[in-house]
Amino acid sequence: MKAIILTAGEGTRMRPLTTTRPKTMLITGGKPLIQYNIESLRDAGIKDITLVVGYKHEVIEEYFGDGSEFGVNINYALQDGQLGTAHAIATAEEYIDESFIVLNGDIIVSYDLIRNLIEKYATRRSNDVKAVLTLIEVDDPSNYGIVSMQNDKIVEIVEKPEPENAPSQLANAGIYLFSQEIFDAIRETEISERNEYEITDSLQITLDKEYEILGLISQEPWMDVGRPWELLKSNQKFLEKMEDDIQGEVEENVTIHGALHLGKNSIIRSGCYIQGPVFIGDNCDVGPNTYLRPYTCLCNNVDVGNAVEIKNSIIMDNTNVNHLSYVGDSVIGVNCNLGAGTNLANLRFDDQHVPVTVKGKRIDSGLRKLGAIFGDGVKTGINTSVNPGIKIGNGSFINAGCVLYQDIDSYSLVTARCDLDIRKIRKDEDDK
């Protein structure tokens, strides 16, 4: 058994975090999203994996290489243009010579689910069975490909039906097991109204030829990470399972409650209070007198200064959070610098859900507490305050004393203006 992971998309809903990297390379729980699926495949016994790459593919290739460091063999298939799931799968055909599993790189699955797929296929395998689809029950069928089943055989697939016309509440979860014949169906697939080659159309072609497609209703947990705050949700899930692993230095008078991962050459200085689970990567410097609250994830080469408080946040590589700052429920990119006294608020005055702008539309995050989303290379001056749900683009500079109420585009300079009439004060002083 082999596997294909689809990771060619841009992840525009994750902007500005995906301006410099594919969505699947965003960090959650101390690892890139896609690494969890690579490890799940490996643990399920699948070692030959093809990554279908496209947008910023060099970031993925540099990190994973040939896969040997992760216990697998990785090939790369470059998808030229984003023309749908069927087109992406076809891109990897040269690496497939047997049955194979297909995963979307931003849907994190457990190895138990992969094993269940393999077992389902193995126990029902015949010349007529050409695929197994993982299915989930959904409340709103209009956002999914919905299937109709008899026993465990799929008889029809309807793409995003209106709720009153949906044949069931069972949705295609985007996790597949295919025989090689799927490539023949893909070659027969015509481009859709969305200008994409839809894998659901390829599956319908397979059904029309009276081949069998089985449905596996998933009982295993999986996560779809598509928007910035969903990184925080997945981060929480992974850190909840984390065990103590202290490889760095913990000075005297540090209080630790709960699980802590402390990477190599990292130090927690005296007076810090760690309320786990907390992940701290390699070469980090924390404290003194800093408070790290649950679900804090500091990646590599992160410096956190004196008397800082961080809660339920992801701080990416080479970022500094300087003294007297607060970071709550936020995602901070690489190479950022938060000046002393920077406060990233995470709770509205009216205690309502925090809205966020995604792809130009204001949507409800569904969260009562959500802080800021910083792209890479953002710098804030001292005493900067950022209101809940604000996004700041890459490379922006926020001058001292600013209070941000709206999103900031990349490579912007924001300054606070003083209305005080300095000349008048000087004149008054001269009169004295």
216 vs 36, 119, 161, 174, 353, CA distance in Å? Answer: 21, 10, 21, 12, 35
Choose among 275, 283, 235: nearest CA to 259: 275
* Unique residue bearing structure tokens 């902007």: 15
How many Å is the maximal CA-CA distance in the chain? 101
64 vs 45, 51, 103, 114, 316, CA distance in Å? Answer: 19, 10, 17, 21, 18
Instruction: Fill in the amino acid letter for 288.
Output: P
Residue 136 · residue 217 · CB < 8 Å: yes
The per-residue DSSP string of 253-286 comes to T-EEES-EEE-TT-EE-TT-EEESSEEE-TT-EE
Residue 61 · residue 53 · CB < 8 Å: yes
Q: Cα angle vertex 68, ends 62, 70, to 5°?
A: 85
Measured between alpha carbons, how far is 213 from 208 in angstroms, rounded to an integer? 11
Give residue 280's Cα distance to chain centre: 18
Name every residue whose Cβ is closer than 8 Å to that of residue 27 and which is 6 or more positions away in sequence: 33, 231, 297, 299, 314, 316
Pairing of strands 379-380, 337-338: parallel
Choose among 100, 106, 143: nearest CA to 2: 100
Q: How many CB atoms lie within 10 A of CB 184?
A: 14
Considering 57, 87, 261, 323, which one is annotated as catalytic? Answer: 323
Dihedral sign, Cα of residue 403, residue 336, residue 251, residue 292 = positive
* Unique residue bearing structure tokens 């230095």: 249
Task: Label residue 271 exposed, middle or buried (CB < 10 Å: 0-12, 13-18, 19+).
Answer: middle
Measured between alpha carbons, how far is 103 from 95 in angstroms, rounded to an integer? 16
Active site residue 257: no
| Catalytically annotated residues | 323
